Amino acid sequence: MQDQAQTLTITRPDDWHLHLRDGAALASTVPWSAAQFARAIVMPNLKPPVVDTAQALEYRARILAARVPGSDFQPLMTLYLTDRTPPQEIARAKASGAVFGVKLYPAGATTNSDSGVTDLRNVHGVLEAMQREGMPLLVHGEVTDSQVDVFDREAVFIERHLQAIRRDFPGLKIVLEHITTSHAVDFVLANDARDARGAPLLGATITAHHLLHSRNAMFRGGLRPHYYCLPVLKRETHRLRLLDAACSGDPRFFLGTDSAPHARGAKEADCGCAGCFSALHALELYAQAFEQAGRLDRLEGFAAHFGADFYGLPRNAGRVELRRQAWTVPLSLDYMDTSIVPVDAGETLHWRVAPAGAAATQA
């Protein structure tokens, strides 16, 4: 068989969409992500959300303080766009050097999105400022209209809103986040405009769980809340399109885990929260997906090159080694004073990140 290499060494990867939460959670979430990634785009959907540069800088300091000694993990901060975000905030955010994107949550679309945008007309001035400043718009691409079937909300968002944003702000950098459908893949492929540096103006992140699972995973033998996230897993044909896109070597598709930790009790409940936790073993999950597609050779571009190139940041200098080694994802982990269930708990994975220090860090 091909691809029976026992080790795979790639440039240190980054996570271009991550939820770290705040407070006591940081003591767990920051070390988990830092063990796998050099940098991460940190989502602003705290309670209350991170709406201005001052709050982003304070949040950044709390994240840095939660690193284990010697860690060089860098959080790349984002602002949460609201109906009331002043356009002048964008220049402040840019000048801080710490804010790398502004997040659009349609109001009510997902966990902690109540302060999101109710009508895109309310943020035109902000989008103009972002286009001018070269500040990327990070989009949770789902309509919230309860008349629209939950499995169609991404496709309908693209039709109703994203086409118009692209048309009205042709120079705006946009990341369509955690894409889940062939419609999203098609939309990205149809937009190949470049910025002044030659980097794509439109990109998309893809999670590991959307590469590995179709919606069947939520119903395998019963209701499986730990596979419930937003945008929700879709049918197998969509998963195959996403895997194809991720493995294509097209620099518009890059890694974003959307690891979204929720304590076990908040997921195993009458009205369980949306979010899959994958930070612990993200790279191993992606390696599993790429190996299934016979394209382990494309993992490095997707995980470590294309996101940095999109954001105009240097690629990481260090390397990380994965080893072929069967291991079982833990059923549960300690998380604050409770526990958390990772994606694919109890399942066997075939790759494992070598511990830092083994081969991980030399430039």
3-class DSSP state of 275: coil
33/279 Cα distance (integer angstroms): 5
Cβ proximity to Zn ion, 250 vs 258, nearer residue: 258
Question: Which of helix, strand or coil describes residue 354?
Answer: coil
Q: Which stretch binds ligand NCD (CB under 6 A): 60-68, 107-115, 122-130, 143-151?
A: 107-115
Q: Do 96 and 89 touch, CB atoms closer than 8 A?
A: no
Three-state DSSP class for 235? Answer: coil
- Minimum CB separation of residue 210 from ligand NCD in Å reads 10
Angle between helices 26-34 and 53-65 (to 10 degrees): 80
Q: Quote the CA–CA distance of 12 and 172 in Å, as a whole number.
A: 28
Strands 338-340 and 333-335: antiparallel
From the list 71, 90, 137, the residue with the least C-alpha distance to 311 is 137
Closer residue to ligand NCD (CB): 36 or 112: 112
- CB 156: neighbour CB atoms within 10 A? 17
Does the footprint of Zn ion cover residue 142 (CB under 5 A)? no
Encoded one letter per residue, x for contact with Zn ion by CB under 5 A and - for no contact, window 202-241 reads: ----------------------------------------
* Catalytic-role residue among 14, 250, 258, 344: 258
Q: Give yes or no for a cis peptide into 231 (omega within 30° of 0).
A: yes
Cα–Cα distance, 324 to 327 (Å, whole number): 10
Active-site residue 195, yes or no?
A: no
Judged by DSSP in three states, 176 sits in strand
What does 199 bind: ligand NCD, Zn ion, none (CB cut-off 5 to 8 Å by kind)?
Answer: none
Shortest Å distance, C-beta 180 to ligand NCD: 10
User: Which x/- pattern over 231-250 shows residues binding ligand NCD (rule: CB under 6 A)?
Assistant: --------------------
Q: Is residue 45 a contact point for ligand NCD (CB under 6 A)?
A: yes
- Residue 19 within binding range of ligand NCD, rule CB under 6 A: yes
Nearer to ligand NCD, 214 or 248 (CB): 214
User: What is the pattern of x (binds Zn ion, CB under 5 A) and - over residues 253-282?
Assistant: -----x------------------------
Q: Residue 148 burial by CB count (10 A; 0-12/13-18/19+): exposed, middle or buried?
A: middle
The distance of closest approach from Cβ of residue 232 to ligand NCD in the complex, given in angstroms and rounded to an integer, is 8
Closest approach of Cβ 275 to Zn ion, in Å?
7
Find all residues with CB under 8 Å of 307, minimum gap 6, and list them: 14, 16, 203, 205, 254, 255, 256
At CA 255, angle to CA 253 and CA 257, rounded to 5?
Answer: 135
Which one of 28, 29, 111, 316 is in contact with ligand NCD (CB under 6 A)?
A: 111
Which residues between 128 and 187 bind ligand NCD (CB under 6 A)?
Answer: 140
Question: In the numeric block, which tokens belong to residue 47?
Answer: 């309670």
Site size for ligand NCD (CB under 6 A): 12
List the single partner that 274 binds among ligand NCD, Zn ion, none, CB under 5 to 8 Å by kind: ligand NCD
Window 260 to 319, contacts with ligand NCD (CB under 6 A): 260, 274-275
110 binds ligand NCD, rule: CB under 6 A:
yes
CA distances from 329 to 29, 110, 133, 351 (A): 17, 27, 43, 11
Residues 182-211 close enough to bind ligand NCD by CB under 6 A: none
Q: What are the catalytic residues? A: 258
Contacts to ligand NCD by CB under 6 A: 19, 45, 110-112, 140, 229-230, 258, 260, 274-275
